[in-house]
């Protein structure tokens, strides 16, 4: 067999049972927000270098729009573009899924049986939705008032549930795992409540926010700002409640009740509508790989985003181990650090010491139609506002920024390597 590449001074074909299909200087795993953003930035800065993305999906989603789609503000198709149209020009698209990482050999294996080697690997496959971790949920979703904005396919059903609920109990859950967009479980609750308020039905509906956590939001200033919102809609928070099963036919949600970190009881609540934020975790192929930390996330340094064991591997976005809020806004900041360091490594052989990710995440908390509290914070939960105004106040201007400006900034700025 012909030797194609030498990695770390070794003949790689001696180390591998399969032949290499290809080699790329920069290999990106995942063509989501993080993968496309990094590809676009690299393409802009390094016009002639070889960049490839491994991504199985034909479509790319702007997931932050899904809350609006489910609340009837935009058609869900507006959140979707063809993958071929968002992958930057002169970046190779390998339409396949990574299954195995061989970091010692600088290669990955794919579902189609390819073995692809790289100089630098950027790991960005997002987070995994674990529908089956709640008994009865996978089967029940999309029936009997059980819905979720965490699935593109279910967005129309969320809208239908909001429309059909006129009396009874509406439950909105938040899981005991890490999950993307810390505000999403509440945003859809406030938009649903505002719909019911405008329709005159809110007084007949008991809205419960059932969360495994012990506060409404993890950043104190934001939690304080949400107090009047919760009061306005008559939302009853039920803390330390973690959804564990759904009895779809009976319309009953079953919760574990926690005290001091232990399950002490169980509760059943009958519902008319159940909006579920499902448990989430690192994708299985990451968990089972040498790249994972003890919790299964890609084990990177929290400021440089470089892998803690393999210096030619970086990770950003929802799959990374950094302890920030998992948001597209975080991806925007992280991408600059990853790209800057990669360029520095290629050009000078060393990292760019001036680049450091501070844990920035943003939660545009939609609190009703025309109302938004813009929460931005860092690793220390310190508020880091982008605008010289009190962002803890509900504002129409911020609502329009989120609804009308951010999608343009995403498609035309971030995904084109400009933001
Ligand atoms: C309902 C909802 C509301 C949200 N609201 C906001 C918001 O208001 N503001 C905000 O900033 N963020 C928000 N987010 C979060 C934001 O969408 C994510 O944090 C962001 O998309 C993360 O980017 P990513 O590239 O890590 O993952 P993704 O964008 O999810 O992309 C991951 C990509 O990896 C691919 N992939 C998976 N497995 C493999 C594999 N084995 N091999 C190759 N490729 C693979 C997938 O097909 C996918 O294309 C929201 C998310 C949801 C669901």
Q: Reduce the DSSP state of residue 159 to 3 states and report it.
A: helix
Residue 372 has pLDDT above 60, yes or no: yes
Ligand 1 nearest atom to the CA of residue 319, by list position: 26
Best mutation site among 73, 328, 334 for ligand 1 pocket (most ligand atoms within 8 Å of CB): 328
Predicted pLDDT of residue 21? 72
380 lies in some domain: no
The CATH number that applies at residue 74 is: 3.50.50.60
Do residue 241 and residue 349 come from a single domain? no
Q: Which of 344, 359, 374 is the last residue of a domain?
A: 359
Residue 153 phi, psi dihedral angles, 5° rounding: -65, -20
Phi-psi region of 310 (alpha: psi -120 to 50; beta: other; left: phi over 0): beta
- Look-up: residue for tokens 């084109």? 416
Nearest to 229 by CA among 368, 403, 70: 368
Nearest to 146 by CA among 272, 270, 256: 272
**Domain membership of residue 214 as a residue range:** 129-280
Span from the CA of 125 to the centroid of ligand 1 (angstroms): 8
Best mutation site among 24, 28, 30, 74 for ligand 1 pocket (most ligand atoms within 8 Å of CB): 30
Report, as residue numbers or ranges, the catalytic residues: 181, 363
Q: How confident is the model at residue 419 (pLDDT cuts 50, 70, 90)?
A: confident
Predicted pLDDT of residue 31? 98
DSSP string, 340-367: HHHHHHHHHSS--TT------EEEEEEE
Q: Which of 359, 393, 408 is the last residue of a domain?
A: 359
**Cross-strand bridge partners of residue 141:** none
Q: How confident is the model at residue 14 (pLDDT cuts 50, 70, 90)?
A: very low
Residue 136 has pLDDT above 80, yes or no: yes
Q: How confident is the model at residue 8 (pLDDT cuts 50, 70, 90)?
A: very low
Q: Which residue's CA is the nearest one to ligand 1's atom 19?
A: 327
Do residue 196 and residue 222 come from a single domain? yes
Do residue 49 and residue 160 come from a single domain? no
Do residue 307 and residue 249 come from a single domain? no
Span from the CA of 199 to the centroid of ligand 1 (angstroms): 33
371 lies in some domain: no
| Residue 268 contacts residue 253 (beta carbons within 8 Å) | yes
Ligand 1 nearest atom to the CA of residue 36, by list position: 25
Q: Specify burial of residue 304 (Cβ count, 10 A radius: 0-12, 13-18, 19+).
A: buried
Q: How far apart are CA 390 and CA 306, in angstroms?
A: 35
> Average pLDDT, stretch 240-257?
98
Domain count, the chain: 2
Predicted pLDDT of residue 6? 30
> Average pLDDT, stretch 131-155?
98
Do residue 78 and residue 160 come from a single domain? no
Residue 9 has pLDDT above 50, yes or no: no
180 lies in some domain: yes
Q: How far apart are CA 320 and CA 316, in angstroms?
A: 5
Q: How confident is the model at residue 205 (pLDDT cuts 50, 70, 90)?
A: very high
Ligand 1 nearest atom to the CA of residue 67, by list position: 1
**Cross-strand bridge partners of residue 117:** 23, 107
Ligand 1 nearest atom to the CA of residue 320, by list position: 26
Do residue 86 and residue 152 come from a single domain? no
Do residue 299 and residue 256 come from a single domain? no
Span from the CA of 123 to the centroid of ligand 1 (angstroms): 13
Q: How confident is the model at residue 18 (pLDDT cuts 50, 70, 90)?
A: low
Do residue 192 and residue 329 come from a single domain? no
418 lies in some domain: no
Q: Which of 329, 359, 389 is the last residue of a domain?
A: 359
Predicted pLDDT of residue 279? 98
Q: How far apart are CA 285 and CA 297, in angstroms?
A: 10
Beta strands (DSSP E) in 32-175 are 51-54, 59-61, 80-82, 92-94, 98-102, 107-110, 115-123, 128-129, 146-147, 168-174
Q: How confident is the model at residue 1 (pLDDT cuts 50, 70, 90)?
A: very low
408 lies in some domain: no
Residue 134 phi, psi dihedral angles, 5° rounding: -110, 115
Span from the CA of 331 to the centroid of ligand 1 (angstroms): 10
| Residue 110 contacts residue 29 (beta carbons within 8 Å) | no
Residue 4 has pLDDT above 60, yes or no: no
Predicted pLDDT of residue 15? 39
Q: Which residue's CA is the nearest one to ligand 1's atom 15?
A: 327
**Which protein residues touch ligand 1 with a CB less than 6 Å away?**
29-35, 54-57, 63-64, 66-67, 97-98, 124-126, 149-150, 180-181, 184, 283, 285, 317-319, 326-329, 331, 362, 364
Q: How confident is the model at residue 19 (pLDDT cuts 50, 70, 90)?
A: low
Span from the CA of 348 to the centroid of ligand 1 (angstroms): 32
Do residue 240 and residue 305 come from a single domain? no
Q: How confident is the model at residue 112 (pLDDT cuts 50, 70, 90)?
A: very high
Best mutation site among 82, 110, 126 for ligand 1 pocket (most ligand atoms within 8 Å of CB): 126
Do residue 162 and residue 224 come from a single domain? yes
Q: Which residue's CA is the nearest one to ligand 1's atom 50?
A: 64
364 lies in some domain: no
Q: How confident is the model at residue 97 (pLDDT cuts 50, 70, 90)?
A: very high
Span from the CA of 12 to the centroid of ligand 1 (angstroms): 33
Q: Reduce the DSSP state of residue 291 to 3 states and report it.
A: coil
Q: How far apart are CA 115 and CA 101, in angstroms?
A: 10
**Percent of the chain having pLDDT more than 70?**
95
> Average pLDDT, stretch 302-324?
98
CB atoms within 10 A of CB 267: 12
Mean residue pLDDT of the chain comes to 94
- Look-up: residue for tokens 């400009």? 418
In eight-state DSSP terms, residue 143 is S
| Residue 236 contacts residue 128 (beta carbons within 8 Å) | no
Predicted pLDDT of residue 319? 98
> Average pLDDT, stretch 344-355?
97
Q: How far apart are CA 351 and CA 342, in angstroms?
A: 7
C-alpha gyration radius of the chain? 22
Do residue 31 and residue 99 come from a single domain? yes
Predicted pLDDT of residue 20? 61
34 lies in some domain: yes
pLDDT digits (tens, 9 = 90+) for 268-307: 999 999 999 999 999 999 999 999 999 999 999 999 999 9
Residue 343 has pLDDT above 90, yes or no: yes
**Cα four-point dihedral sign 34, 38, 44, 47:** negative
Do residue 195 and residue 236 come from a single domain? yes
Query: Measured at the alpha carbon of residue 260, what is the angle toward residues 327 and 209, in degrees to the nearest 5?
Result: 45
403 lies in some domain: no
Q: How confident is the model at residue 119 (pLDDT cuts 50, 70, 90)?
A: very high
Q: How far apart are CA 333 and CA 34, in angstroms?
A: 10
């Amino acid at each position: 067999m012909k030797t194609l590449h030498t990695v770390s001074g070794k003949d790689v074909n001696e180390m591998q049972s399969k032949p290499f299909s290809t080699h790329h200087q920069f290999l990106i795993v995942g063509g989501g927000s993080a993968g496309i953003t990094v590809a676009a930035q690299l393409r802009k800065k390094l016009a002639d270098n070889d960049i490839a993305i491994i991504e199985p999906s034909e479509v790319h989603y702007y997931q932050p729009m899904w809350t609006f789609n489910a609340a009837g503000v935009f058609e869900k198709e507006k959140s979707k573009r063809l993958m071929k149209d968002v992958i930057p020009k002169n970046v190779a698209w390998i339409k396949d899924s990574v299954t195995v990482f061989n970091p010692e050999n600088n290669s990955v294996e794919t579902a189609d049986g390819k073995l692809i080697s790289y100089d630098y690997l950027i790991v960005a496959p997002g987070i995994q939705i674990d529908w089956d971790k709640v008994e009865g949920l996978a089967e029940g979703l999309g029936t009997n008032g059980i819905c979720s904005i965490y699935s593109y396919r279910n967005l129309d059903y969320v809208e239908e549930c909001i429309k059909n609920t006129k009396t009874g109990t509406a439950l909105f859950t938040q899981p005991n795992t890490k999950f993307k967009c810390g505000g999403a479980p509440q945003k859809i609750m406030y938009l649903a409540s505002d719909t019911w308020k405008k329709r005159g039905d809110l007084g007949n509906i008991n809205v419960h926010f059932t969360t495994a956590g012990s506060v409404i939001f993890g950043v104190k200033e934001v939690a304080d700002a949400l107090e009047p919102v919760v009061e306005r809609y008559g939302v009853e928070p039920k803390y330390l409640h973690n959804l564990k099963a759904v009895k779809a036919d009976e319309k009953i949600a079953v919760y574990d009740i926690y005290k001091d970190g232990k399950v002490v009881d169980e509760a059943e609540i009958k519902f008319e509508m159940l909006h579920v934020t499902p448990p989430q975790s690192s994708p299985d192929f990451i968990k089972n790989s040498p790249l994972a930390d003890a919790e299964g996330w890609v084990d990177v340094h929290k400021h440089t985003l470089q892998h803690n064991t393999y210096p030619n591997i970086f990770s950003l976005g929802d799959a990374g181990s950094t302890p920030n809020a998992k948001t597209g806004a975080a991806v925007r900041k992280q991408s600059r650090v990853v790209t800057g360091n990669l360029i520095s490594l290629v050009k000078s052989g060393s990292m760019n010491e001036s680049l450091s990710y501070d844990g920035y995440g943003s939660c545009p908390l939609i609190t009703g139609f025309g109302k938004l509290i813009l929460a931005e914070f860092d690793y220390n939960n310190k508020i880091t506002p982008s605008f010289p105004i009190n962002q803890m106040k509900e504002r129409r201007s911020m609502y329009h920024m989120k609804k009308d400006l951010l999608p343009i900034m995403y498609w035309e700025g971030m995904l084109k390597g400009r933001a």
